């Protein structure tokens, strides 16, 4: 039986939900929308599920604290009415802080409301579980760890992906995705001075768009050697770029799960990032060499040099190791685990 799941407050354009849906055909079907969708879910509470994602979008469009207050009160009423109708609620914890943070206090309050009432809380790694337990005293029995899906098989076939993976690179250090201040981009630029990059025959490219893109580019205007490519990047173009790059840089300062990291693995790319539990768990052991001590610029540069110094044969093995890890997280393997949880909640 295909289970109907109301996903809110989230757009139908969500790449994360698209990955899950691609692996969940025949198991579940998402209907997405803003908080108002919870009213629709309430009318079908006995035969469907409500799955909350990215609580910060409850406050999208709010221009004042008063408007955010009202959005929070409305969310609390909607959840109360949903439970009164006998509905079952899930919450996935994607981040520690919202992507955009004008109403941080409201975000935490909405998360607390959801966590107090959720029948199941989904996390993608133990760091997220620890965060929820420590910050909100969530009952560990309600926490379920289900991997974030990779994009293997979604944008290209396995045969196509493997055919692109080789031992060569073009000297590019690639930062891509949504350009936001909390991703540590400004600090990464400062840690990789022009003379260092020139000596290593490398260059830094920043690719993507985001609310801080123009601002960060202005702050780095003294670095004419950095290549900024501001704008939308199609997924296939990003995958091709990842494969050619010496490595991708993920210098994030605050995160629980990284969709970009999963995309890099899916492309058979190599990434350099802080040595934190999330990356240690995600990466195959042989590629832990590209992790650096957070806040240590010298160790950051060491990891970059290490990625650049790989022989073609070594590089090929490192790339294949990452791709094999992505294969183990393919949507068709992850989605059935989510389906089992959905089925269990509907039965009880």
pLDDT at 136 over 90: no
Provide the pLDDT confidence category of residue 320 given band limits of 50, 70 and 90: very high
pLDDT at 182: 83
Do domains 3-149+330-347 and 158-327 share one topology? The answer is yes
What would the two tokens of residue 267 be?
Answer: 């492309």
Q: What is the mean pLDDT of residues 321-340?
A: 97
Give the total residue count for the chain.
Answer: 348
pLDDT at 101 over 80: no
Task: Specify the DSSP element, H or E, that contains 306.
Answer: helix 297-308
> Which carries the bigger pLDDT value, residue 132 or residue 101?
132
- Tell me the β-bridge partners of 89: 50
Q: What is the pTM of this model?
A: 0.94
Whole-angstrom Cα distance, residue 142 to residue 131?
A: 14
Query: For a pLDDT cut of 70, what percent of the chain falls above it?
Result: 99
Provide the pLDDT confidence category of residue 236 given band limits of 50, 70 and 90: confident
Please tell me the CATH code under which domain 158-327 is placed: 3.40.50.2000
Closest CA to 334 of 257, 242, 240: 257
pLDDT at 100 over 80: no
pLDDT at 237: 86
For 338, other C-beta atoms within 10 Å of its C-beta total 24
What CATH superfamily is the domain 3-149+330-347?
Glycogen Phosphorylase B; (3.40.50.2000)
What's the mean per-residue pLDDT of the chain? 94
pLDDT at 211: 80
What would the two tokens of residue 337 be?
Answer: 């685990």
**pLDDT, tens digit (0-9, with 9 covering 90-100), for 253-309:** 888 999 999 999 999 999 999 999 999 999 999 999 999 999 999 999 999 999 999
**pLDDT, tens digit (0-9, with 9 covering 90-100), for 207-224:** 998 888 899 999 999 999
**pLDDT, tens digit (0-9, with 9 covering 90-100), for 31-45:** 999 999 999 999 999
pLDDT at 254: 81
Which residues, 6 or more positions from 53, have their beta carbon under 8 angstroms from its beta carbon? Answer: 7, 8, 9, 10, 14, 16, 17, 91, 92, 94
Domain ranges in the chain are: 3-149+330-347, 158-327
């Amino acid at each position: 039986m295909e289970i109907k799941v109301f996903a809110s407050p989230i757009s139908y354009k969500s790449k994360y939900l698209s990955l899950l849906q691609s692996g969940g055909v025949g198991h579940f079907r998402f209907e997405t929308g803003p908080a108002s969708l919870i009213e629709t879910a309430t009318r079908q509470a006995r035969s469907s599920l409500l799955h909350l994602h990215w609580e910060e979008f409850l406050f999208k469009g709010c221009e004042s604290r008063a408007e955010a207050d009202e959005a929070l009160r409305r969310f609390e009423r909607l959840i109360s009415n949903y439970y009164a109708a006998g509905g079952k609620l899930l919450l996935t914890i994607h981040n520690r802080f919202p992507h955009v943070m004008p109403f941080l206090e409201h975000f935490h309050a909405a998360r607390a409301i959801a966590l107090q009432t959720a029948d199941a809380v989904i996390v993608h790694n133990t760091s997220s579980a620890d965060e929820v337990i420590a910050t909100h005293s969530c009952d560990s029995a309600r926490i379920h760890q289900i991997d974030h899906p990779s994009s293997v098989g979604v944008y290209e076939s396995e045969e196509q992906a493997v055919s692109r993976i080789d031992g060569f690179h073009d000297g590019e250090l690639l930062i891509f995705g949504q350009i936001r201040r909390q991703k540590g981009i400004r600090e990464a630029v400062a840690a990789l001075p022009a003379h260092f990059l020139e000596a290593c025959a490398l260059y830094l490219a920043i690719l993507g768009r985001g609310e801080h893109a123009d601002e960060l580019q202005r702050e780095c205007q003294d670095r004419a050697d950095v290549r900024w490519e501001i704008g939308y990047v199609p997924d296939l173009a990003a995958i091709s770029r990842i494969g050619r790059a010496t490595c991708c840089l993920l210098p994030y300062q605050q995160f629980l799960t990284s969709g970009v990291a999963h995309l890099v693995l899916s492309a058979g790319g190599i990434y350099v990032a802080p040595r934190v539990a999330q990356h240690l768990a995600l990466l195959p052991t042989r590629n832990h060499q590209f992790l650096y001590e957070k806040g240590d610029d010298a160790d950051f540069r060491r990891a970059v040099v290490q990625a650049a110094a790989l022989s073609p044969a070594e590089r090929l093995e490192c790339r294949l190791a990452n791709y094999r890890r992505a294969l183990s997280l393919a949507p068709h393997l992850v989605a059935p685990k989510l389906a089992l949880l959905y089925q269990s909640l509907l039965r009880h």
